[in-house]
Structure 1
């Protein structure tokens, strides 16, 4: 039961901090799940992140996978299912509820200077959070110079070309399958 309360508390708190989307809180999620609770290792966290990003659906699927892992260690397969559901609900409901309430007032303040200032401030905040996520995920996933080099190459391709990201993903996957990384 304690594990489930930790899952709910962690993801409910992260939900309210996820300005710009769930991926912006990955550094805090990583710190809690890997360093504090020890539910996952760095490699497992990076693997779950990769799975959640490639699976169809919302990119925050990692939350369900982490809840699944925490519940599995606490109570087997039934506990894993409960952990995944609790983590997902805890991540979605607080933010969704807050957005609903704020939207009621936000619509009335369309011409407010405060609204314009807040909207301008959120853009750099979100970019900073996403950059922090990139650094944390790179450290968690890349453990040798080849991994860092592949990350850098993929980043350059994404920034400099209009190549379909699926081609880059396929090439990186092939590099991993061939043992290059």
Structure 2
């Protein structure tokens, strides 16, 4: 990968940083479009594997961005993607939290919080859709995804039950 490609990777992730309302996973559909469809630096399977591996590992969920950069361009790509996604949002959070603390009871603070919540939920649902479409290659996996979505929508149980159920289904050869 050339230096120009690394710069473009950095700038693309830099632009996504301020759109990552509710976390970087919300911007994963755009990351998928850029890395898989537009640039061809990885496949859909590699993309979703990087997300799954990062979320299975201990640590912050932002690790998937580092793995995507690594998959695209090795260590320089990992650094470019991680720095790009972290820099703008970190600076905004630093100054935004200082402002919020000074105006905690203000009407504008409450309005911003209420306005950003549906955006974060929508971005997270879009990310879930992209990951499901890329991985669900037969009806059993689609059924498992629908059941998991229903579980989250209608249950207040610990999500670890879903992981255990998925592991059991895989061990028994159901999926």
- TM-score bracket, normalised by the shorter chain, equals 0.7 to 0.9
**After superposition, where does 1:47-58 map in structure 2 within 5 Å?**
47-58=49-60
Match of 1:138 among 126, 132, 144: 132
- Tell me the TM-score normalized by structure 1: 0.85
Secondary structure class of the residue paired with 2:91: helix
- 1:102 and 1:58 map into 2 onto residues whose CA distance is 21
Match of 2:111 among 100, 114, 117: 117
Match of 1:70 among 64, 69, 72: 72
Deviation at 1:178, TM superposition (A): 5.1
Q: Equivalent residue for 1:4?
A: 6
Q: In 2 relative to 1, CA 160–28 (structure 1 residues): closer, same or farther, beyond 3 Å?
A: same
Deviation at 1:164, TM superposition (A): 4.1
Contact 1:3 1:70 in 2 (8 A): no
Match of 1:33 among 32, 35, 46: 35
Structure with a larger share of its residues in helix: 1
Match of 1:60 among 54, 62, 75: 62
Deviation at 1:86, TM superposition (A): 2.1
Deviation at 1:166, TM superposition (A): 3.2
* 5+ residue gaps, structure 2: none
Q: Equivalent residue for 1:76?
A: none
Match of 1:98 among 86, 89, 92: 92
Runs of 4 or more consecutive aligned structure 1 residues displaced over 6 Å after TM superposition: none
Match of 2:145 among 128, 144, 151: 151
Q: In 2 relative to 1, CA 161–105 (structure 1 residues): closer, same or farther, beyond 3 Å?
A: closer
CA root-mean-square deviation: 1.9
| C-alpha distance after superposition, 1:19-65 (max 9, x if no partner) | 11111111111111111111111111111111111111111211111
**After superposition, where does 1:163-174 map in structure 2 within 5 Å?**
163-174=157-168
- 1:160 and 1:116 map into 2 onto residues whose CA distance is 27
Q: In 2 relative to 1, CA 62–108 (structure 1 residues): closer, same or farther, beyond 3 Å?
A: same
Deviation at 1:179, TM superposition (A): 4.4
Contact 1:19 1:126 in 2 (8 A): yes
Deviation at 1:177, TM superposition (A): 5.1
Please identify, of 88-97 and 151-160, the stretch whose mean Cα deviation from structure 2 is larger: 151-160
| C-alpha distance after superposition, 1:117-145 (max 9, x if no partner) | 11111111111111111111111111221
* 5+ residue gaps, structure 1: 72-79
